[in-house]
Amino acid sequence: MNSPQREDTLLSNYTVSSARMEFDKFIVPTVTVFILLLLFFFMLFPLWMILKLSFFKGGELALANFTLDNFKQYFTTAYTLRSLWHSLYISGVTTAIVTVLVFFFAYALTRTTIAGKTFFRNIIMMPLVAPSIVQALALIYLFGRNGLITSHFFQIDWNIYGATGIIVSEVLYCLPHAFVILFTTLSAVDIRLDEAAESLGASPFKVFTRITLPSAKYGIISAAALTFNLTITDFGNPVVIGGNYSVLATEIYAQVTNLYRFDLGATISIILLVPSLGAFMLNYYISRKSFSMISGAARPFIPPTRKLKKILYSTFCYLIAFSIILIFATVIIGSFVKVWPYDWSLTLEHYKFPSIGGYSAIWTSLWISLIVGVVGSFITLVAAYAMETRRPYFKQVMYFFSVMPAAIPGLVMGLGYILAFNKPCYWFYGTPWIVVINIVICNFTLGILSSVSNLKNIDSSIEEASISLGGDTLSTFFKIIFPLSRVAFIQNFTYFFMRSMTTISAVIFLVSATVHLAAIEIIMLDNDGWTASANAMCTCIIVIVFVMIGILHLVNKWAGQTPAKEVPSQ
Amino acid sequence: MKKFSPFFILIAVAFLFPAQPVFSKDTVVIYTSLENEEFVEYIKQAKVELPDLDIQAIRLSTGELGARMLAEKNNPQADCVWGWAVTNMEEFVPRKMIKPYKPEGWDKIPAHFKDPNGYWTAIDLYAAAFVINTKVVEKKNLPTPKGWKDLLNPAYKDMLIMPNPASSGTGFLQVASLLEMLDGDYKTKPVEDNKAWDFLKELDKNMGQYIKSGSKPAKLTAAGEYAVGCSFAFVYSSLKKKGFPVAMVLPEEGAGFELEANALLEGARHEAAAKKFLDWALSKSAMEGYSKFKLGVTYPGMKGPADMPSLDSIKLAPMDFPWQSKNRAKILEVWSNLFLH
């Protein structure tokens, strides 16, 4: 280490030109300002346009133009007001069902000794790889008016269109999201408490209600809030299976596209923002609390579960896994059979997409998603790094705006983008770039959260060492932080890629004659009654996402191998 | 750093994808509401016959397309519309969003199929029709309807489906034709007092669903979900060809119809290319393409598809396009208030 040669290199590193030192000082502030500007321009500005259009006549900001007419019209027209009650009802019921189901599912995976835990954990994450429309498509094939189960198996007239259909599809769609939270909570809460209570003679029921439930309460509330938010903002499932049952998201779309009422669309957007923002704030508040609880937890071994309990929990988990697999199997099989459910001969007919988008839409979606993956994971990592090296005040401001996108429904953001950027001066309007920006911003929150938690795991002494050895901010970032974050980077890339392939609501207003997207094609095909081709398009997306996850898994393994030793464990 | 090279390859690849070869062709951006099925065929033909044009197109429902154009009023993204309902087109003329253009062959088109100032030129006519699933009708022992009034029969309860007039042009022409046929004074009285609303309220009792698109009622009926789908004529013939157990009935009261027209958009970025395309879209060979699908095309003397009744044998409803266009918003408001729940 002390060889003269080494010292020479150190010295030469110390004699950086003063200009470069000056330059270095400005890097972090510049990046901070850049990220903040990005969020202001692409998140707050579109929201501001929506706010303006709903409260001011013609969207012209002037005291004389201020009006509550739009809100008055919304609340006094029976059929528009209904969408609010429908949304609250659907979201409420879905939240209750999902929270209960997922709690016991996560409990089975963390507190019992049932077999096949890895299988269950992988299966429940599956809904993430498909657009939030796959559930509705499958349910119609199974329980529709001409469904396999309802009409052909049981030969009954009952069908799933309407509220029931939306609730069932939303439940199946929200499972993985709620599961991540509850699984983390339940595996972090100290299991020794339960044991202590049991050995002191408490009945299993008492242990469950007095110890297990209360210790997981933050996780439960947080999962419920997230489910509520996802359900109330979802567009894909209600539009397919809702029939005449309108919810807020579909009502926004209907007002804008059917009646050309952009102002009422904006007004309903504001009304939708209230509950979704509320649920988000609750989640935000709770998760900060619960994370502080998790950190010090211990995980001793799980005592063998009694036989009856084991059988019950296994059956329950298999039921849930079966429902998810059934959904995917139905859509995939449905894309290959000639006429569901009459003619089961196999065909590739439905893969000749009867639309102008077709395979070019899949291609466009693929490369847009690759760009979104790279840009999204890189920007969130840079933003997280800048945030971690900022003074507390800036950090708070930046953190708040960075996590805010999760609270904004995709459809609202999309409408805001039309209102804000549809001017000749914004060259990117009508190009794929507006789609890229929109998707990156809409999914900023999770990218930031995982980048921040990853940076916290990197020992700060490494960074200090780099700086004291004369590395400037840029080289520290690229030579130390970036390589050490590669696993998180790949995870974020996967997340952004998946979201970009499957999102519907955010981009439905942004597709154009030159930009066709696969997820939107599904809606359009289904709309025209090409349900089998819609299933085929869904299958294509699912396959692409799975292939990508496979590739990244390999890359992750390979990239994570050797340097794992370098990562200091905390 | 070496270990990181896969990322840089990935980044490079991601950014290379959009760099598609630069075409020396003239771009033209087209908006259309023609059905996907026919439209894909027309586009194939257009690409062959107009080799020097790079045709970019998006297909949206009648309502979605209007909203899109309104949103882009100050920054038009499209150059022309192709096959869009005249009722909606008329609404956009006073908004100064359409530029008059008389394509080649404009003189040949009969006067009632075009705007005298050249704002729009119709290419075809499509008519409302009931598509009936013969298997379902047989199984449930239902009578075959002849016209709208037969659909009030309680036996059809929840067995009917029709498009939502707010999102579908087909749905709108069905409702508009009823408003005009069932109330002789429709012109003089306010829309909400029209006698046809009482009829529609009765019909609503049997209606299983109001659905977003105009072709879906026929397709869902063909798939066996409903007995009678209120849809339009050509979707029937394509379903029949595919082997579905379907029959078509044109309402005996008179079939509502709509003209589909082309127009040049104000602010078109590729005006020359758009004009070239519009000329083609009115040419004899393009019209021959339309006539394989549509009940009637506007080219004089050209017959519709062989498996459809000829236009002169059909009783058409007396459609009053200027009135429809002027009252479209009001009609949809009244309809939405009555039937959306």
pLDDT tens-digit readout, B59-68: 998 888 999 9
- Would you place residue A1 in the very low, low, confident or very high pLDDT band (cuts 50, 70, 90)? very low
Domain CATH number, residue A139: 1.10.3720.10
- Please indicate, yes or no, if residue A404 is contained in any of the structural domains: no
**Residue B8: what pLDDT?**
60
Phi, psi of A485, deg, nearest 5: -100, 10
Number of domains in chain A: 1
DSSP state of B101: -
- B30, B110: one domain: yes
Q: What Rg value do the Cα atoms of chain B yield, rounded?
A: 22
Residues in A touching B72 (Cβ below 8 Å): 422
Give the per-residue pLDDT at A290.
Answer: 58
Of all residues in chain B, the one with the smallest CA distance to A497 is B14
Q: Are B210 and A244 inside 8 Å of each other by CB? A: yes
Q: Tell me, yes or no, whether B159 and B216 share the same domain.
A: yes
Most confident of A546-550, A552-556, B71-75: A546-550
Asked if A424 reaches chain B (Cβ–Cβ under 8 Å), the answer is yes
Which residues on adjacent β-strands are paired with residue B98? B265
> B145 and B279 share a domain?
no
For range A529-548, the mean pLDDT: 94
Which residues of A are less than 8 Å from B4 in CB distance?
482-483, 486, 559
Compute the mean pLDDT over every residue in chain B, rounded to the nearest whole number.
89
Per-residue model confidence (pLDDT) at position A19: 66
Same domain for B48 and B159: no
Please give the residue that has the higher pLDDT: either A243 or A567.
A243
Residue B328: inside a domain = yes
The reply to whether omega before B322 is within 30° of 0 (cis) is: no
pLDDT of residue A205: 87
Residue B49: count of CB within 10 angstroms of its CB: 13
Residue A390, C-beta contacts closer than 8 angstroms, at least 6 positions apart: A28, A32, A398
Number of Cβ within 10 Å of residue B241's Cβ equals: 9
Residues of A in contact with B216 (CB under 8 A): 527-529
Q: Which residues of B touch A559 (CB under 8 A)?
A: 3-4, 6
- pLDDT given for residue A565 in this prediction: 41
Q: pLDDT value at position B311?
A: 81
Question: Is A398 part of a structural domain of the chain?
Answer: no
Confidence of residue A21 (pLDDT cuts 50, 70, 90): low
pLDDT digits (tens, 9 = 90+) for A411-441: 999 999 999 998 888 988 888 999 999 999 9
Mind listing the pLDDT tens digit for each residue in A465-479?
Answer: 887 787 777 888 888
- Does any domain span residue A405? no
List the single range of A322-331, A394-403, B85-94, B286-295 with lowest mean pLDDT. A394-403
Task: Assess if residue B105 is contained within a domain.
Answer: yes
ipTM over 0.85: yes
pLDDT at A268: 96
Confidence of residue A285 (pLDDT cuts 50, 70, 90): confident
- Look at residue A213 and tell me if it is in a domain: yes
- 8 Å CB contact of A356 and B40: yes
Tell me the residue range of the domain where A117 lies: 72-334
Q: Is the predicted pLDDT of residue A305 greater than 70, yes or no?
A: yes
> Cβ–Cβ of B74/A511 closer than 8 Å?
no
Window 172-231 of A: residues touching B by CB (8 A cutoff) are none
Rounded average pLDDT over A176-204: 85
**Mean pLDDT along residues A260-288:** 88
Same domain for B98 and B175, yes or no, is no
Q: Residues of B104-141 as b/e, b for ≥16 C-beta within 10 angstroms? A: ebeeebeeebbbeebbbbbbbbbbbbbbbbeebbeeee
Q: Are B17 and A374 in contact (CB under 8 A)?
A: no
Give per-residue pLDDT as tens, B98-117: 999 999 999 999 998 999 99
* DSSP classification of residue A154: S
Q: Pick from B1, B2, B10, B333 the residue to mutate for testing the A interface (most A CBs within 10 Å).
A: B10
Going by pLDDT thresholds of 50, 70 and 90, the confidence category of residue B5 is low
In the prediction, which pLDDT does A2 show? 46
The residue among B60, B67, B25 whose CA lies nearest residue B39 is B60
pLDDT above 80: residue A18: no
Residue closest to B230 by CA, chosen among B245, B242, B243, B216: B216
Classify residue A562: in a domain, yes or no. Answer: no
Q: pLDDT for A55-93, tens place per residue?
A: 998 878 888 889 899 999 999 988 899 999 999 999 999
Q: Is B9 among the domain residues?
A: no
CB A529 within 8 A of CB B216: yes
Q: Are residues B252 and B269 in the same domain?
A: no
Least confident window among A128-132, A223-227, A484-488, B192-196: A484-488
Residue A228 reports pLDDT greater than 70: yes
| Model confidence band, residue A391 (pLDDT cutoffs 50, 70, 90) | low
For B178-193, the pLDDT digits (tens) are 999 999 899 999 999 9
The arithmetic mean of pLDDT across residues A509-526, rounded, is 92
pLDDT of residue B9: 61
Task: Summarize the confidence of residues A137-164 as an average pLDDT.
Answer: 88
pLDDT at A368: 96
pLDDT of amino acid A72: 93
Residue A538 near residue A524 (C-beta atoms within 8 A)? no
Return the CATH number at B236. Answer: 3.40.190.10
A428 inside 8 A of chain B by CB = no
Q: Please indicate, yes or no, if residue A81 is contained in any of the structural domains.
A: yes
Q: Is residue A466 included in any domain, yes or no? A: no
Name the average pLDDT for chain A. Answer: 86
Task: Kindly state whether residues B297 and B266 are assigned to the same domain.
Answer: yes
Q: Are residues B213 and B327 in the same domain?
A: yes
Residues of chain B above pLDDT 70, percent: 93
Which pLDDT score, from 0 to 100, does residue A570 have? 35
DSSP code of A66?
A: B
Query: How does pLDDT run across A444-466, given as a tens digit for each residue?
Result: 988 888 888 888 877 778 877 88
| A390 has a pLDDT exceeding 80 | no
Tell which wins on pLDDT, A163 or A216: A163
Distance from CA of B33 to the nearest CA of A (A): 12
pLDDT at A300 over 70: no
Burial of A464 (0-12, 13-18, 19+ CB in 10 A): exposed
The pLDDT tens digits for A392-404 are: 677 888 888 888 8
For chain B, the domain total comes to 2
| C-beta atoms of B11 and A374 within 8 A | yes
Q: For residue A568, what pLDDT is reported?
A: 40
As a whole number, mean pLDDT of residues B222-229 equals 90
In a domain, A301, yes or no: yes
Mean pLDDT in residue range B71-90: 92
Supply the pLDDT for residue A567: 41
The answer to whether residue A320 scores a pLDDT higher than 90 is: yes
For residues B239 and B103, state if they share a domain.
no
Question: What pLDDT shows up at residue B255?
Answer: 93
Q: Please indicate, yes or no, whether residues B245 and B168 belong to a single structural domain of this protein.
A: yes
B117 and B150 belong to one structural domain: no
Residues B116 and B171 in one domain: no
Structural domain harbouring B140: 126-257+316-339
Distances (CA, A) of A448 to A280, A388, A402, A445, B248: 16, 11, 7, 5, 57
From the list A78, A239, A513, the residue facing B58 with the nearest CB is: A513
Question: What pLDDT, on a 0 to 100 scale, did the predictor assign at position A15?
Answer: 52
Q: Which helix (H) or strand (E) holds A337?
A: strand A337-339
Integer Cα distance of A367 and A380 in angstroms: 20
Q: Determine which helix (DSSP H) or strand (DSSP E) holds B171, and give its type and residue range.
A: helix B169-182
